[in-house]
């Protein structure tokens, strides 16, 4: 491998940040799709 340990750890952090951003985007999209109401919405 041409990457050293520091670069590998840095890339791993980037992947984690990207995954978090994707998950947040999905959650926000679901909230907007359902109008901010979940199954526990009160009548």
User: How confident is the model at residue 1, as a pLDDT?
Assistant: 42
Which tokens belong to 7? 């670069």
Q: How far apart are CA 30 and CA 16, in angstroms?
A: 21
CB-based contacts of 11: which residues, under 8 Å, 6+ apart? 3
Task: Tell me the pLDDT of the chain (43 aa) as tens digits.
Answer: 445 556 777 788 888 999 999 999 999 999 998 886 655 554 4
CA atoms within 13 A on the CB side of 8: 5
Q: What is the pTM of this model?
A: 0.54
Q: How far apart are CA 6 and CA 43, in angstroms?
A: 53
Our measurement of the distance from residue 31's CA atom to the centroid of its chain's CA atoms, rounded to an integer in Å, reads 14
């Amino acid at each position: 491998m041409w990457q050293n340990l520091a670069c590998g750890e840095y890339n791993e952090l980037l992947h984690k940040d990207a995954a978090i951003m994707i998950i947040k985007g999905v959650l926000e999209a679901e909230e907007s799709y359902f109008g901010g109401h979940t199954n526990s919405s009160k009548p």
